[in-house]
Amino acid sequence: MNKILTFVLCTFCLSAAFAQDVKYCGQTEQTEKLFRHFPELQREAQEAHEQLEEETRAFAQERGGGEETLIIPVVFHIIHEGGAENISDEQVLDCLRIVNRDFRKQNPDTLQVVDEFVDLIADINIEFRLAQRDPEGNCTKGINRIFSPLTNEGGSQMKDLIFWPRDMYMNVWVCKDAGGAAGYTYLPGSVNNGWLQDQDGIVLLHNYTGSIGTSSVTRSRTLTHEIGHWLNLRHLWGGTNEPAVENNCFDDDGVDDTPLTIGWTTCNLDGESCGSLDNVQNYMEYSYCSRMFTQDQRTRMRAAAYSGVADRNELWTTQNLIDTGVFDEEPVLCAADFDVNRRVVCVGEEVQFMDQSFNGNNSWTWDLGDGTTIVGEDVEVHQNPVHVFTEPGLYTITLNTGNGFETVEETKEEFLLVLDQAEQDFPFVEGFENGLGTDLYFVNNPADDMTFEVSTLAAQTGSRSLRLENRNNNVEFNIDELMTRTFNGTSASVVALEYSWAYASKFNETDDRFRIYFSSDCGETWTLRKQHRGYSDLPTTSPTNGNFVPDADEWVTNTIFFDDLEDLTDNLRFKFYFEGRGGNNFYLDDINIYVNTVDVNDIESLENSIVLFPNPSEGRTSLKFENQSAVNDALIYLTDATGRVVTQIYNNALPVGSHQWDLDGSALSSGLYFVVMEMDGKRVSKRLILE
């Protein structure tokens, strides 16, 4: 049999959609890439592979597969950006349930296996349990959550974010993109070298993890397949990731009771590709109808589990099961924890509380800080309650939870902020001269590192600004957010948001991002209105690798206008978002928000009365007006964005007919202005932008 080293990425798919959305496997590309960078690994990996083959043959002769139930501790690392890829604990538990069902031959669909292979269906007698102790012996539920944009990369850098020792745990990373595949892992021999151990484990796409949540039943056996690779199984057609190729009949998977096959990507149960009936329903196929492992696959996987290659034999020892907290089947209740769907809400909005305690709790007592207590044992009602706060404030939340024998408690001080509606009025002028108080802003720093801070190093006006020390940022795609409280925009016809910033790229022109969002529903949803990028309009001066501090002429000001009346609610909020990608320091100053207030009824009757052209204007514009009846008292004037009158245009009676005035704004600063017309008690305004 031709043995070909299968080194890196292998994936599995069990739905027709898989073929359209992601690759089966990135094995070939990743193998070539790894060996190109580290050619010495190919020889070492081949030696480890041959050692394991010898051990597998000896294991089959001496033990015949073995009967002892092996328990392997597992840890899931959810790498996410707060999106759908941040799958629930329930989805992780469902994934592990399916793996244990498949490895113990408890899946009911074995009844669908074709008669020729029924006698070969194997109970692998290996169980997988979520760790309940971390490497330091602390309590854990075996599910870690790491906020990082590296979820979109799904490779070695992502794994470097968090890794638990492979001689104690099987590591599983769940992410948003696994290099274009549904999942991948290494054969044990491929990562036997000690300095590769932090790469040893399994990577899964979130929507191929389990059968619920973001995944589905047809995509639920990806981990079953990948653990097969992790325990030294190849695809049934041999050592490639190219099924349905005629030459595969001359390759083999190293397993005696799986017939030679070209490999299947459809569920053809009558398939005979190499002169005999193919085991199309095997978990190591791409047939979308996998149901079984064979007896000899069982022997091969258990041989790998007993081998010291890649430390697999350390995982199921009694001492390691004790150290990782999985020796007993009963869960260990060791920590209370909880979260909410949003940390900042408005009065009258629902808050979803989420119990994240571990492990095995079945009763809950919630103290929500506003006099409300929720107590009970009904999972549907008491574990993850929904509550509406009727008063604004900063609330401390306490959860006490138990398992019938003991209880644990967690209190989070000032954990939930409930905003009132229309907390801030316009105009709003902020130069940070008095610091940064939570009565106006909230800073969100998911990476918990350097973030927006008031600085005296530079300012657009005054002596202070907000500074983000981005030059020393060591977190790729680091995100920091500055969010306002609620504004009342219900009486405005237009809101103008003005802001100034200073930023320099490094000499390699890094593509940092500065974005401005708004929300009309108190932050439940956010809409992007402007993005400045490092490759285009974000830099305000030349690149420098030094510690950037802007001069007075290295600031830029921009204004965004909001004039959709449906957006101008009493729950209007704004967010300033910076995504660091290795550039230099960023400064933010002079956040000014102005409005123009107009009676809606007057707009409807006079909205066609004024014509301004050109608009925007570089200085000169014409104002045209035609009235159908005489006006006894007409006042026309120009204001800036704050409502301050800049110049009076006309103040007298107006006869019937057409009227025109030429306005000279060349001496005015660029920005937002309003032409206001008051006629016999009616008032209307038109926006004018001077560039």
pLDDT digits (tens, 9 = 90+) for 64-121: 777 899 999 999 999 998 889 999 999 999 999 999 999 999 999 999 999 999 999 9
* Residue 631 confidence (pLDDT): 82
124 burial via Cβ count (<10 Å: 0-12, 13-18, 19+): buried
Question: With contact defined as beta carbons under 8 Å apart, do 305 and 126 qualify?
Answer: yes
What residues contact residue 171 under an 8 Å CB cut-off, 6+ apart?
75, 77, 159, 163, 164, 200, 201, 202
pLDDT of 11 strictly over 80:
no
The domain spans of the chain are 16-235+302-323, 338-419, 428-595, 600-690
pLDDT for res 472: 79
% of the chain surpassing 70 pLDDT: 91
Residues 505/584, Cβ–Cβ less than 8 Å: yes
Task: Report helix, strand or coil for 22.
Answer: coil
Q: Which residue has the tokens 């910076």?
A: 578
Catalytic annotation, pick one of 226, 423, 554, 579: 226
Fold match, 16-235+302-323 / 428-595: no
Would you call 319 helix, strand, or coil by DSSP? helix
Give tens-digit pLDDT for 220-279. Answer: 999 999 999 999 999 999 888 888 899 999 999 999 999 999 999 899 999 999 999 999
Residue ranges with strand state E in 81-125: none
pTM: 0.67
Question: How far is 661 from 638, CA to CA, in rounded Å?
Answer: 12
Pull the structure tokens for residue 505: 């790229």
How many Å apart are CA 291 and CA 653, to the nearest integer?
Answer: 89
Average pLDDT over all residues of the chain: 87
- Percent of the chain exceeding pLDDT 90 equals 58
Phi (first) and psi of residue 100, to 5 degrees:
-65, -35
Rounded to the nearest angstrom, the gap between the alpha carbon of residue 79 and the centroid of all alpha carbons in its chain is: 7
> Residue 509 catalytic?
no
580 secondary structure, DSSP code: E
One of 3.40.50.970, 3.40.50.2300, 3.40.50.300, 2.60.40.1930 is the CATH number of 600-690, namely: 2.60.40.1930
**Is the pLDDT confidence value at 577 over 50?**
yes
Q: CATH fold of 16-235+302-323, please? A: Collagenase (Catalytic Domain) (3.40.390)
Which of 118-122, 131-135, 261-265, 425-429 is predicted with the least confidence, judged by mean pLDDT?
Answer: 425-429
For residues 341-362, average pLDDT: 93
Q: Between these two residues, 506 and 14, which has the higher pLDDT value?
A: 506
Determine the CATH number of domain 428-595: 2.60.120.200
- CATH numeric code, 338-419: 2.60.40.10
Side-chain half-sphere of 630: how many Cα atoms within 13 Å?
4
Query: How large is the average pLDDT for residues 436-442?
Result: 70
Phi, psi angles (nearest 5°) of residue 148 = -165, 135
In sequence order, what are the residues at sequence separation of 6 or more whose Cβ sits closer than 8 angstroms to the Cβ of residue 54?
A: none
